[in-house]
Amino acid sequence: MVFDEPTRGIDVGAKHEVYLLMRELASTGMAIIFISSDLNEVLGLSHRVAVMHQGQIAEIVPRSLATPERVMSSAMGLARA
């Protein structure tokens, strides 16, 4: 299932319902691709984060290692230290 900016422009209560739906689908084994420009949302919901830079995947980061700094550095094409 692909969710592309599913919470853009909706209120907090509706966002919560979308998050519950996504988690429920994932718990049944469904694969979910979640696309969002809200980094906090991505980090809060994802098991892995695929970071894009210039139209290509720059890095796939497990959630345990995905920090805002790492994701943004990768998105800007900067080498990780």
Q: What pLDDT is recorded for position 51? A: 95
pLDDT higher than threshold 70 for residue 80? no
Alpha-carbon gap, residue 60 to 2, rounded angstroms:
17
pLDDT tens-digit readout, 3-56 = 999 999 999 999 999 999 999 999 999 999 999 999 999 999 999 999 999 999
Query: Which conformational region is residue 32 in: left (phi greater than 0), alpha (psi within -120 to 50 degrees), or beta?
Result: beta
Q: What pLDDT is recorded for position 32? A: 95
pTM higher than 0.75, yes or no? yes
